[in-house]
Amino acid sequence: MTADAIKHQLTDIFRDVFNDPTLEITDEMTADDVDGWDSLTHINMILGVEQGFGIRFSIKDVRAMRNVGELVQAIAKKRAN
């Protein structure tokens, strides 16, 4: 799966979780950039990603991600394994 394909699918998940049908994601985006992104929506987003991409993160993975770009990389790595 290419990074662009991941981002495309990830955008849909973000729009659903953050209840914003026009949300556009970027690599540098962090929780500070999105209205309503707190620990609860974060965990909802992680669970949505796990379901959508058929992967599982560890707590360590979740803590290590600092922005959307790192999330995309983590998804690509998990999918490759």
Partner 1 sequence: MLNFTSPLFFVALALVACGLYILPGRWRAAYLLVLSYGFYAMVSVRFLALMVAGSLLAYGIGIGIANARSDSARVRLMLLGVGGLLGGIVVFKIGGAWHGWLLPLGLSYYSFKLISYVIEVYWDEDSVERDLTLFLSYPAFFPQIISGPIQRSEPYFQQVRALAARRLDSAQIEEGFRLIVTGLMLKLLVGDRLATLIAGVDAAPGSFGRIDLLVTIAGYTLQLYADFAGYTNIALGIGKMLGIDGPPNFNAPFLATNIQEMWRRWHMSLTTWLTDYLFIPLTMTMRRYGLAGLLLCITINMALIGVWHGFTLNYLIFGLMHAVYFSLTMLYLRYISPPRGKKAPPEPRLRRIVRTAFGMVLTFALMSSTQIFFHSARFDQAIGILRQVFGLIPSGARSIGDIGPGAAETFVICALITVWAGCGAPGARRLSDRIAPVAPRWLQYGVGLFLLATLTPDSAGSFVYGQF
Residue numbers of the site for partner 1 (CB under 8 A)?
18-23, 35-36, 38-40, 43-44, 46-47, 50, 57-60, 62-63
Query: CB of 2: closest distance to partner 1 in angstroms?
Result: 26
Of the pair 3, 55, the CB lying nearest partner 1 is at 55
Tokens 């998804």 locate to 75
The distance of closest approach from Cβ of residue 31 to partner 1 in the complex, given in angstroms and rounded to an integer, is: 11
Closest by Cα among 51, 35, 45 to 68: 45
30: CB partners within 8 A, 6+ apart: 66, 67, 68
